[in-house]
Amino acid sequence: MDVIGRVALGVGVLLSLVACKDRVAAPPAAPVATPAALAAHGEEFRREVIEVVEGIWVAVGYGIANSILIEGDDGVIVVDTMETVESARAVLAEFRKRTDKPVKALIYTHSHPDHIGGAGVFAEGAGAIPVYAQRGLVANMEKTSIELQTAITQRSLRMYGTQLSPEAMVNVGIGPFVAMGPGSTIDMLRPTRTFDDTLEDTVAGVHFQLVHAPGETDDQLFVWLPQRRILLSGDNVYKAFPNLYTIRGTSYRDPRAWADSIDKMRALKPTVLVPSHTRPLVGEALIAQTLTDYRDAIRYVYDQTLRLINQGYTPDEIASRIKLPPHLAASPWLREFYGTPQWSARNIFTGNLGWFDGNPSNLRPLPPDETAWRIVELAGGIDALAHQIDAAAQAGEHQWVLQLTDYLLRVQPDHVGARQARIAALRALGGREANPNARHWYLTVAGELAGEFVLPKRMLTPTPEMLARMPLARFFDGMAVNLDAEASADTIIAVGFEFTDTPERYTYIVRRGVSEVVPQLREDADIVVRVPAQVFKEMLAQLRHPALTIATEFEIVKGSKLGFVRFMRLFVPVEDT
């Protein structure tokens, strides 16, 4: 044996000895997630206000998220404010049974609606109280609430099962339900104290540190009470595998940054952990192990996905291979009751490499309708494909039924047999699904196809006070993403807006399907209207009837009212009645 061979053999023996020395006992088999396990998980959300330690209460089970009360010397701090005015009122009533001290400050852990929607209730009319948040919160909140409102609303309704019966909607994985419905209102207060990396302050004698901790959102923070070693973790930790990607849709959530944020928490060695979803934990050792497992699971999925990317695998192939190692899958804090490693892997691929999976067939694929027709022809025609769907249904191949009906229903949307087969497959998949997000999506789409309900384009109604606090510019942004490009393809028009209750002026230009908003009144505007800004906001937010509002509240300074109505129809049709 040559020198290199002897060295290699010696290294191999050494490595095997080290491996034997460091080997740990095999963990128990991970529990299997089942619908029954999901139902048992509902105990995590039984409604109560828990006194975690003296002076710290958390309201669990009043909506999807928690609200946390920190009692100080002469006042209280509220961390996260529920999703609606109605759920916030229920929580505040319970908090008032513990203390009548005034609310001296609000803290938002991040921009998701279930953490900020009821803020005005907790302020109790004292609008001057400080509202703390990470600097990026407002931009992120406005993107989903204005620019993507319809898409996020309907996708969220499918994911959270809001339209389903109580029997079908077991729980939502990190809470019992989303506390919203027709008539629900929101009243978010805009932050007054923002920061980039860290902020330290004392309110009502309570000293706290806010630390930027990107994870589920880029604007996420955690609250640290250093004198008591109490950690309020926001949505970066909860008792379920994290939504590194959420099927309702989201910007890229960077798992590396998320894991790093958990490492910041671990370094503090907290003795109390209060998440903004699910129940609190007490005990330094238990919290340390939980946080370690959580960050390890995130890093495992991220690192192994990149490893498989570098080996040339596609997102579908990677998703089929990614599974947590047994010791992490066995953690009660990593059950797949919210996110999944498979969805996360797809998001990691897209977040790092974009939409193209490397297959040249996907560079310029045939349009979906043409592809569907060709698949139907390949199957031997509509009747032949329908026969294949029936055979798959009888064999219990529910996923294959979904994929085949994708083609047939695109070619013939009113095909009764395919529609009924798809509904049955969706209900079968939903009934056996342990992940509530997937379960609800299957069952909700089945209900939509069956005509049992129609998803609204919006669910929450902002209060007039909330609209008054929102900048006018954001309303014009909302108009831009609603411009009908086809209807305005041959239109060039400039409309000026004067407001009677603010000095702001804008000119909205439509140029052949494209928007341009100029923050001043241009002399060459074709039409100029004058209206109170609050009326304009309320009309766009659908608190006022558009046609009636234009008829009675808008003054035409230049041009004609009919011309202005035609202009507004390019965005949202103005009903005549």
Contact 185, 84 (CB under 8 A): yes
- Does any domain span residue 34? no
Distances (CA, A) of 18 to 6, 25, 352, 367: 18, 15, 35, 56
Tokens 């710290």 found at: 56
409 and 549: one domain? no
In 244-367, where does DSSP find H-type helix? 255-268, 284-310, 315-321, 326-329, 341-353
CB neighbours of 237 closer than 8 A, spacing ≥ 6?
262, 265, 273, 275, 290, 291, 294, 333
Region of residue 483 (phi > 0: left; psi between -120 and 50: alpha; otherwise: beta): beta
Pairing of strands 56-60, 67-71: antiparallel
The reported pTM is 0.91
Give the N- to C-terminal CA distance of the chain in Å, as an integer. 94
120 and 237: one domain? yes
Print pLDDT tens along the chain (577 aa): 444 444 344 444 333 433 343 444 444 555 667 899 999 999 999 999 999 999 999 999 999 999 999 999 999 999 999 999 999 999 999 999 999 999 999 999 999 999 999 999 999 866 689 999 999 999 998 887 788 888 999 999 999 999 999 889 999 999 999 998 888 999 999 999 999 999 999 999 999 999 999 999 999 999 999 999 999 999 999 999 999 999 999 999 999 999 999 999 999 999 999 999 999 999 999 999 999 999 999 999 999 999 999 999 999 999 999 999 999 999 999 999 999 999 999 999 999 999 999 999 999 999 999 999 999 999 999 999 999 999 999 999 999 999 999 999 999 999 999 999 999 999 999 999 999 999 999 999 999 999 999 999 888 889 999 999 999 999 999 999 999 999 999 999 999 999 999 999 999 999 999 999 999 999 999 999 999 999 999 999 999 999 999 999 999 999 999 999 999 999 975 443 3
Contact 375, 383 (CB under 8 A): no
Select from 193, 183, 237, 159 the least CA-distant residue to 77.
193
- Does any domain span residue 338? yes
Instruction: Write out the residue range of the structural domain in which residue 230 sits.
Output: 42-353
Neighbours of 292 (CB within 10 A): 14
The values of phi and psi at residue 555, to 5°, are: -100, 130
Query: Is 449 in a helix, a strand, or coil?
Result: helix
- Does any domain span residue 23? no
Q: And the tokens for 216?
A: 């589920």
The values of phi and psi at residue 116, to 5°, are: -130, -10
66 and 107: one domain? yes
229 and 346: one domain? yes
59 and 136: one domain? yes
Select from 261, 256, 342 the least CA-distant residue to 303.
256
Query: Is 501 in a helix, a strand, or coil?
Result: coil
Tokens 């055979």 found at: 391
- Strands, sheet with 131-134, edge to edge from the N-terminal-most edge strand: 48-53, 56-60, 67-71, 76-79, 103-107, 131-134, 193-195
391 and 328: one domain? no
**Rg (alpha carbons) of the chain, rounded to whole number:** 27
Q: What is the largest CA-CA distance in the chain?
A: 98
- Does any domain span residue 391? yes
Look at the alpha carbons of 562, 568, 573, 575 in this order and tell me if their dihedral is positive or negative: negative
Q: Which helix (H) or strand (E) holds 59?
A: strand 56-60
165 and 281: one domain? yes
User: Looking at 292, 319, 353, which one is the last position of a domain?
Assistant: 353
Q: Tabulate helix, strand, coil % of the chain (nearest 5).
A: 45, 15, 40
419 and 490: one domain? no
Query: In this structure, what CATH number is given to the domain that contains residue 74?
Result: 3.60.15.30
- Does any domain span residue 253? yes
339 and 386: one domain? no
343 and 386: one domain? no
Q: Which amino acid is at 548?
A: L
287 and 411: one domain? no
Query: In this structure, what CATH number is given to the domain that contains residue 540?
Result: 3.30.1050.10
**How many structural domains comprise the chain?**
3
- Does any domain span residue 466? no
- Does any domain span residue 2? no
Select from 63, 67, 121, 57 the least CA-distant residue to 89.
121
Q: And the tokens for 424?
A: 């049955």
DSSP β-bridge partners for residue 68: 58, 79
